Structure 1
């Protein structure tokens, strides 16, 4: 950061109860030229410190890089965690959440590939009435990323991220269903599947075309759990979220129905997909808004900073 900001930044960091270690390297940065700060801070204080640094325009004239520390063997670190307001497991680093979900919302080749493969797996699972294959398709599907990004974008008013998330969802499912339909048509042409599949008894996968109130409840619970997993940096819980929702299986059913001429099944699968997407999104929005409101009530230990209005020299 510019040297003219060093004193203010040092006072900000040194005055925060959640800072464990602080080092300043004068002239340590080449691009942009300036001083380099290295700071270890308790998760509870990270968000308010980032806000303070942005008030000092460090993000504009320098840079802020965040990295999670898995373990720190340090008494000052333990003391900083005790002093910091709130609880580390509940703390939300909003800037990290926004940027992580924004990256997940990108309409990339890998996103399209994963969603298409997951939809194809779901279609194969329906043909064979295989619960394990359905679970595999659910876990593989990447659609929760754009859904979470859309919710974060609405709560934090990030229009560009929100638009990108909507495009990724619409284009992603359209491409995945279209390609899966083509594969299903190929299978029909080879005699592997036929219209009789639509009327076949499928005890393991029949739920895909049976949307009801439980579908909505599961989607809402999955949306809440997914957001909590993202904001608390507990990614392991996301696997349970992926297995809970019926988005990708519904897309697989839609593809099969298009290929085999099943109008009723297509409508029911479309309804299932819509219920799940809407339930997840609404629950994610509500959870994020509640978290933001609650976290704002936590006492802030960071001293107020003097705004810097001049440009970098």
Structure 2
């Protein structure tokens, strides 16, 4: 269930209340007239089944409530109410399959913004991965994958392509390209510094690396794993099961490939640099492609579910003898 807190202008409150009452899957409607001060208006509270949430939010935005008032949405972890149970039963489909497009756009907007924190995380992850590739240490590679925040802008780019949001697409692409460029540039300097203090050696990069050689040797499995991880990550975001994102992060060779490219560039090894960049681009392409196709499939399936439910509701409502 989702909890909605709305601030509505007084002349719009009755329209909003009727909209909520006519939306299948809503419960616990509360109206507090004249209680809002900034902006001035009435406060309307209600709960809605997740599978009915996107339809209600879209209708509220058509009323320009996001501009004239306020729409706040929270996830309800526990609701002990027969009316809530009934609302979820009445709503079409399953909550886990429903996509809150407004929530997805908002989440990916935050995760795909080029900020100091984002650049810091991706840079630190790349530096950790640099230590991993030089030492051929799989633990450091996995740790760097978990620290890397690059799935945020990748998901933002997929969402922007499906929802046709050019600004979100540009913001996500900027965060992705600038983030990796800065991280790799800093890691080149970091590698030269580590070499200067005799902690990194060219021989380590050129030697046998059974645990990390895959980062500069892309193959068909690189793309296949990236596609599978992109599907899993997208489903994790749309179903609010964020725990799966950690598994997605350590499944793809993005940060380690960027790190290996930076270290190889510091030592002038063009072969490993090119191979690592190919690995990086292949993984990024696979994730974006998978994420976009997954969102399109979810959108199509959910539209079919809603159309089927509307058809069944129409049949039930038709008088006998028609």
Report deviation, 1:242.
Answer: 0.3
Per-residue displacement from partner, 1:18-68 (whole Å, max 9, x unpaired)? 112100000121122111100111101110001111122211211111111
Alignment correspondent of 1:229: 236
Q: Distance between the aligned counterparts of 1:170 and 1:17, measured in 2?
A: 43
Alignment correspondent of 2:303: 296
Out of 121, 141, 147, the position equivalent to 2:128 is 121
Q: Distance between the aligned counterparts of 2:306 and 2:294, measured in 1?
A: 21
Report deviation, 1:213.
Answer: 0.3
Q: Distance between the aligned counterparts of 2:214 and 2:200, measured in 1?
A: 20
Instruction: Check conservation: 2:134, 2:205, Cα contact below 8 A.
Output: no
Alignment correspondent of 1:10: 17
Q: Distance between the aligned counterparts of 1:193 and 1:52, measured in 2?
A: 59
Instruction: Check conservation: 1:195, 1:261, Cα contact below 8 A.
Output: no
Alignment correspondent of 2:39: 32
Alignment correspondent of 2:260: 253
Q: Distance between the aligned counterparts of 1:221 and 1:299, measured in 2?
A: 27
Alignment correspondent of 2:48: 41
Alignment correspondent of 1:308: none
Alignment correspondent of 1:155: 162
Whether 2:309 is the aligned partner of 1:270: answer no
Alignment correspondent of 2:119: 112
Alignment correspondent of 1:92: 99
Out of 138, 143, 151, the position equivalent to 1:136 is 143
Q: Distance between the aligned counterparts of 2:95 and 2:121, measured in 1?
A: 33
Instruction: Check conservation: 2:29, 2:47, Cα contact below 8 A.
Output: yes
Q: Structure 1 or 2: larger strand share? A: 2
Out of 159, 178, 184, the position equivalent to 1:177 is 184
Q: Distance between the aligned counterparts of 1:35 and 1:260, measured in 2?
A: 65
Q: Distance between the aligned counterparts of 2:95 and 2:200, measured in 1?
A: 53
Instruction: Check conservation: 1:24, 1:37, Cα contact below 8 A.
Output: yes
Q: What does 1:195-214 align with in structure 2 at a 5 Å threshold?
A: 195-214=202-221
Q: Is the partner of 1:244 in helix, strand or coil? A: coil
Per-residue displacement from partner, 1:113-136 (whole Å, max 9, x unpaired)? 110110011010111111111100
Q: Distance between the aligned counterparts of 2:199 and 2:59, measured in 1?
A: 63
Report deviation, 1:299.
Answer: 2.4
Q: Over aligned residues, Cα RMSD in angstroms?
A: 1.2
Out of 12, 19, 28, the position equivalent to 2:26 is 19
Q: Distance between the aligned counterparts of 2:16 and 2:166, measured in 1?
A: 30
Structure 2 unmatched runs, 5+: 1-7, 311-322
Q: Is the partner of 1:202 in helix, strand or coil? A: coil
Q: Distance between the aligned counterparts of 2:306 and 2:253, measured in 1?
A: 40
Q: Distance between the aligned counterparts of 1:280 and 1:189, measured in 2?
A: 37
Report deviation, 1:197.
Answer: 2.2
Q: Distance between the aligned counterparts of 1:195 and 1:254, measured in 2?
A: 13
Q: Distance between the aligned counterparts of 2:306 and 2:202, measured in 1?
A: 63
Alignment correspondent of 2:317: none
Whether 2:200 is the aligned partner of 1:193: answer yes
Structure 1 unmatched runs, 5+: 303-313
Q: Distance between the aligned counterparts of 2:72 and 2:255, measured in 1?
A: 35
